[in-house]
Amino acid sequence: MKILIVGSGGREHAIAHAVAKSPRCTKLYCAPGNAGIAALAECVPIGAMEFDKLVSFSKENAIDLVIVGMDDPLVGGLVDELEKAGIRAFGPRKNAAIIEGSKAFSKDLMKKYGIPTAAYENFDDPEKALEYLRTKAEFPIVLKADGLALGKGVLICETLADAEEGVKTIMQDKKFGSAGNKMVIEEFMTGREVSVLSFVDGKIVKIMSSAQDHKRAGDGDTGLNTGGMGNFSPTPFYTKEVDEFCQKNIFQPTVDAMAAEGRPFHGVIFFGLMLTPKGPRVLEYNARFGDPEAQVVLPRLENDILDVIDACIDGKLDEIDLKFSDKAAVCVVLASDGYPVKYEKGFPIEGLEKFEGKDDAFCFHAGTKFDEAGRIVTNGGRVLGITALGNDLKEARKKAYEATEWVTFENKYMRHDIGKAIDEA
């Protein structure tokens, strides 16, 4: 098979790593890719939102399968455009990707079908949002930009003053662009956050291994929200009891709800869960592999990923016995100091060769490129995802942090407490 992956981050590198292992893959392309993906695939200079060019490239190169990694092109309808041109694609169509593209849609879906989530109200008028906050809200409270905001459009507000500032940020100053045209005001839930990735074939859902993200930029969950500073899988807090509850009340009901709405979902649903004192609740849905969840889950997948993808597209997931290694994985993100606000890029990265030939330590590139001299340099806020496998989470964490020392670049920054919650389990 000739395969094209659409995207340029650590998630797409993890997908490329899994696809390249398949004996069915004879040629791999990535658009636009990055310097790390270039070791596995031929990178083509087409942006993820350049739908016409992606369709033309797929036709001209007789691409057998396009895997869309990123949220923007999924929500924008890239899968629809590829299918219209007769090109096989993995990912939800536009009318199903709305489960991530609009938080207001997903909250209304959960309310309609009785899927447990936080109490909420939707607003498209900032004045009405402010009035609600001043008269009816309980603090702390959560404000969410309705649309896609690179995982950063969620504000936790401790006081009314914080919330008023949050409405200004999201709806008036439009810090997250058109994502803030609508806003969800949501009850603040307490508990542990858990991520569960799943494969979906339009009718049934099969979950991958659980994971736990670290969103804040600083140690001890301080600082601003980011796209994710590290992850571990599986999480000990996702117990058998939690799984049974979620299978019955969240996972399958979500897939059934989307089908009932005439929006059958084929692809990956990422369930962001909060394990509250009253039981698991849905925090959010994503319509694709998480980042950096993909970096800790996909290295543990024992099936040929192309077999699983085919089954999702063809509605035959019931024929797949999904298997994951018993090993644990920890990913520590190496970022540019100053991320997620302001940071410099273009610094050469040393030591990448130390990962070559390793089967228990991986360096997934998130923000890298080649400079004019052919060196690999930093090209983003999140630069590398250092993932290690171990017999248990503590061993995986130890190995991941050791591997973070193998690579160096100017302004390298990371959290030092990824997976600290393991000690409390």
Is residue 69 included in any domain, yes or no? Answer: yes
Assess whether 64 and 8 both reside in one domain.
yes
Supply the CATH number for residue 246's domain.
3.30.470.20
Is residue 103 included in any domain, yes or no? Answer: no
Tell which residue, 272, 276, 277, has the closest CA to residue 250: 272
Assess whether 200 and 172 both reside in one domain.
no
Cβ-based burial of 3 (10 A; exposed 0-12, middle 13-18, buried ≥19): buried
Cβ-based burial of 35 (10 A; exposed 0-12, middle 13-18, buried ≥19): buried
Mean pLDDT of the chain: 96
Mean pLDDT of 286-304: 97
Question: Does pLDDT of 259 surpass 80?
Answer: yes
Residue 299 CA to residue 308 CA, distance in Å, equals 15
Assess whether 181 and 225 both reside in one domain.
no
Assess whether 313 and 398 both reside in one domain.
no
Total domains, the chain: 4
pLDDT at residue 425, as a whole number = 67
Assess whether 248 and 288 both reside in one domain.
yes
Is residue 158 included in any domain, yes or no? Answer: yes
Assess whether 196 and 310 both reside in one domain.
yes
Is residue 351 included in any domain, yes or no? Answer: yes
Report which secondary-structure segment, H or E, holds 3: strand 2-7
- Cβ atoms < 10 Å from Cβ of 118: 18
Supply the CATH number for residue 80's domain.
3.40.50.20
Mean pLDDT of 217-223: 94
pLDDT in tens, 77-105: 999 999 999 999 999 999 999 999 999 99
pLDDT at residue 294, as a whole number = 97
Question: Does pLDDT of 73 surpass 80?
Answer: yes
Where do runs of H (alpha helix) occur along 42-85?
51-60, 71-76, 78-84
Residue 271 CA to residue 281 CA, distance in Å, equals 10
Question: Does pLDDT of 196 surpass 70?
Answer: yes
Residues in the chain: 425
Q: What is the extent of the structural domain holding 238?
A: 192-319
Assess whether 61 and 78 both reside in one domain.
yes
pLDDT in tens, 116-153: 999 999 999 999 999 999 999 999 999 999 999 876 78
Mean pLDDT of 299-318: 98
Assess whether 311 and 200 both reside in one domain.
yes
End-to-end CA distance of the chain: 43
pLDDT in tens, 22-72: 999 999 999 999 999 999 999 999 999 999 999 999 999 999 999 999 999
